């Protein structure tokens, strides 16, 4: 098997290179790459079947990215919630810690597309040490989420060093890694990597699959290596217009993930990130999809549909409305639309 670094080195970085594989007009696409980088590695390229494909839309630049006049660069106010560079401290008990600036693919809908894969994202040994020091000094932090960029693109040694320093912090109970690698470069999940990761339990990985076409044998093998090392796997899917914004596609994705021992965790309503407006759906789209899925498929396959509120206000669950009234009886509709009641007992709290 070709080494993952070699695969990454052979990535396509411009639409012009892509014309060797697909018949399309790349002229209008080149300018987009000047603002937002493109990277499609040969593995992900092999999953793309056509220029109309849901995987194509995730990976290939679109002139609409530059025409976005609605969205803003940093909708989650990550920069103002940052006590030290590359730490985002929004919730009392957990922090986001950006430890890598690169990804194995640059997703066109990325929330951090203002910086991921560009020189504005500066991560150094010094910024990492300062981040670790902040976590060590802030005793309310129970959990750290490693993100970026993709933490699993760091070398084994670098990752080992970060994880071991974090693991040594007494009040830090859990390490969570956010990584798209199991989906976009599954050969990065090597036995050597897994041997490192499993030293730092309780360690969770939330990966990121958006479409059933991404559930390849290689991806299943990567998830299996991780799960066999006792790492609980979750998935953070983004709801994307024209890619996965229907119940049939998401049902297939979520059930497929469960078979790969990955628990669907969040389904994200699109963020207001500049250059991604064309991917955003109306909030009713996701809520209707959830209504079709809840009850009709295993609860294990159901993620929380969540909106990350603009301005760094936190994640808000978007749930279909089941409750009709809550007087003396609680009246609600079930998943089939039947009216049901539940007699209350006691005063409201």
Ligand X SMILES: *Cc1c(COP(=O)(O)O)cnc(C)c1O
Contact residues toward ligand SF4 (CB under 6 A) are 103, 106-107, 110, 112, 116, 149-150, 180
Nearer to ligand SF4, 65 or 150 (CB): 150
Examine residue 88 and tell whether it contacts ligand X (CB under 6 A): yes
Q: Cβ of residue 253: shortest distance to ligand X, in angstroms?
A: 19
Size of the site for ligand X (CB under 6 A): 7
Sole binder of ligand X in the list 77, 90, 322, 332 (CB under 6 A): 90
Examine residue 91 and tell whether it contacts ligand X (CB under 6 A): yes
Q: Cβ of residue 329: shortest distance to ligand SF4, in angstroms?
A: 45
279-283: Cβ within 8 A, 24+ apart: 279/108, 279/109, 279/238, 279/240, 279/241, 279/242, 279/243, 280/241, 281/239, 281/240, 281/241, 281/245, 283/307, 283/318
Q: Cβ of residue 221: shortest distance to ligand X, in angstroms?
A: 26
Cis check for the bond before 149: say yes or no (omega within 30 of 0): yes
* Residue 44: count of CB within 10 angstroms of its CB: 24
E strand residue ranges, the chain: 87-91, 94-98, 143-147, 174-178, 203-207, 233-238, 262-268, 304-309, 314-317, 323-326, 329-333, 339-343
103 binds, among ligand X, ligand SF4, none (CB under 5 to 8 A by kind): ligand SF4
- Could you tell me which residues come within 8 angstroms of residue 116 by beta carbon, excluding any fewer than 6 positions away? 101, 102, 103, 106, 110, 148, 149
CA pair distance 272, 180, nearest whole angstrom:
21
- Could you tell me which residues come within 8 angstroms of residue 137 by beta carbon, excluding any fewer than 6 positions away? none
Nearer to ligand X, 93 or 125 (CB): 93
Coil, strand or helix at 146: strand
CA pair distance 77, 125, nearest whole angstrom:
24
- Could you tell me which residues come within 8 angstroms of residue 261 by beta carbon, excluding any fewer than 6 positions away? 223, 224, 227, 233
Examine residue 142 and tell whether it contacts ligand X (CB under 6 A): no
- C-alpha angle 139/141/147, rounded to 5°? 140
Nearer to ligand X, 145 or 146 (CB): 145
Sole binder of ligand X in the list 94, 113, 114, 211 (CB under 6 A): 94
Nearer to ligand X, 261 or 315 (CB): 315
- Name the nearest CA neighbour of 144 among 171, 111, 117, 123: 171
106 binds, among ligand SF4, ligand X, none (CB under 5 to 8 A by kind): ligand SF4
Structure tokens that stand for 109 in this block: 């809908």
115 binds, among ligand X, ligand SF4, none (CB under 5 to 8 A by kind): none
Q: Cβ of residue 92: shortest distance to ligand SF4, in angstroms?
A: 25
Structure tokens that stand for 213 in this block: 């076409």
Nearer to ligand X, 73 or 340 (CB): 73
Residue span binding ligand X (CB under 6 A) among the ranges 25-33, 88-96, 218-226, 322-330 = 88-96
280 binds, among ligand X, ligand SF4, none (CB under 5 to 8 A by kind): none
Nearer to ligand SF4, 109 or 134 (CB): 109
315 binds, among ligand SF4, ligand X, none (CB under 5 to 8 A by kind): ligand X
Sole binder of ligand X in the list 96, 100, 115, 159 (CB under 6 A): 96
141 binds, among ligand X, ligand SF4, none (CB under 5 to 8 A by kind): none
Site of interaction with ligand X (CB under 6 A): 88, 90-91, 94, 96, 145, 315
């Amino acid at each position: 098997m070709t080494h993952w670094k070699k695969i990454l080195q052979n990535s396509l970085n411009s639409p012009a290179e892509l014309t060797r594989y697909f018949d399309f007009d790349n002229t209008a696409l080149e300018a987009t790459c000047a603002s937002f980088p493109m990277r499609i590695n040969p593995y992900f390229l092999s999953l793309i079947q056509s220029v109309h494909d849901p995987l194509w839309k995730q990976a290939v630049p679109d002139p609409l990215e530059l025409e976005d006049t609605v969205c803003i660069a940093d909708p989650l106010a990550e920069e103002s919630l940052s006590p030290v560079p590359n730490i985002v401290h929004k919730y009392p008990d957990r922090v986001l810690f950006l430890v890598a600036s690169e990804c194995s693919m640059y997703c066109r809908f990325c929330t951090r597309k203002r910086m991921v894969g560009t020189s504005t994202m500066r991560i150094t040994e010094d910024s990492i040490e300062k981040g670790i020091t902040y976590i060590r000094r802030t005793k309310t932090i129970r959990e750290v989420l490693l993100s970026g960029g993709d933490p699993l693109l760091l070398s084994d040694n670098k990752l080992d060093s970060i994880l071991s320093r974090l693991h040594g912090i007494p009040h830090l109970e859990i390490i969570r890694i956010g990584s798209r690698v199991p989906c976009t470069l599954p050969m990065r999940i090597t036995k050597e990597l897994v041997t490192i990761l499993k030293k730092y339990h309780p360690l969770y990985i939330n990966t990121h699959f958006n479409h059933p076409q991404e559930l390849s044998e290689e991806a299943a093998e990567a998830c299996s290596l991780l799960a066999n090392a006792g790492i609980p796997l979750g998935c953070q899917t983004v709801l994307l217009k024209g890619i996965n914004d229907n119940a049939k596609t998401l049902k297939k994705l979520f059930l497929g993930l469960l078979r790969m021992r990955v628990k669907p965790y969040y389904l994200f309503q699109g963020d207001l990130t500049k250059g991604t407006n064309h991917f955003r759906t109306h909030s009713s789209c996701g809520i209707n999809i959830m209504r079709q899925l809840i009850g009709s498929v295993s609860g294990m396959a159901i993620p929380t549909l969540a909106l990350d509120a603009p301005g760094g206000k936190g994640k808000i669950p978007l749930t279909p409305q089941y409750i009709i009234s809550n007087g003396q009886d609680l009246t609600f509709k079930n998943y089939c639309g039947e009216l049901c009641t539940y007699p209350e007992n006691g005063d409201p709290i």
